[in-house]
Amino acid sequence: MAAEKRDMKKAGKAAREKGARFERELSKLFNEHGFHTHRGYVFHKQSDVVDLLGIHVEAKAQERMNVWDAMKQAVEESDKRKDGMPTVFWKRSRKGIMVCMRFEDWMKLYTIARGKVKDGKNTNSQEDTV
């Protein structure tokens, strides 16, 4: 029984370390793309990665993930912290990073990226839209 408990503690520690590595990797990638972010501090009740303006980052490094549970966690924490749109970033071993957002939030980002304004007028010329 004691050996079983010890193995569970090791597994939990390994999972936490894997998650922390992914948070650092994600922050490094944001930084490489010109955004100045860093891994959040759990004891300060911060997001997994902070200083990505308007985005609440929930980072998951899991082989099997329930995206609905992860998004629920991101929404709840985003609502508490008021730090941006809840967004889940996740990665499996030796695979690329995936991103999940609510449709409404994605549309906000896409609208901004395409140069649309609130009244529906496009600030880009017709040639710019593809």
In whole angstroms, give the CA distance from residue 104 to residue 113. 14
What are the boundaries of each domain within the chain? Answer: 2-99
Torsion angle, alpha carbons of 65, 66, 67, 72, to 10: -130
The distance from CA 109 to its chain's CA centroid, rounded to whole angstroms, is: 15
In whole angstroms, give the CA distance from residue 55 to residue 84. 4
Tens-of-pLDDT digits for all 130 residues of the chain? 565 555 556 668 888 888 889 999 999 999 999 999 999 877 667 788 999 999 999 999 999 999 999 999 999 999 999 999 999 999 998 899 999 999 999 999 999 999 876 555 545 444 443 3
Q: In 3D, which of 106, 65, 57 has the Cα closest to residue 81?
A: 57
This prediction's pTM: 0.76
The single-letter code of the amino acid at 33 is H
Query: What kind of fold does domain 2-99 have according to CATH?
Result: Trna Endonuclease; Chain: A, domain 1 (3.40.1350)
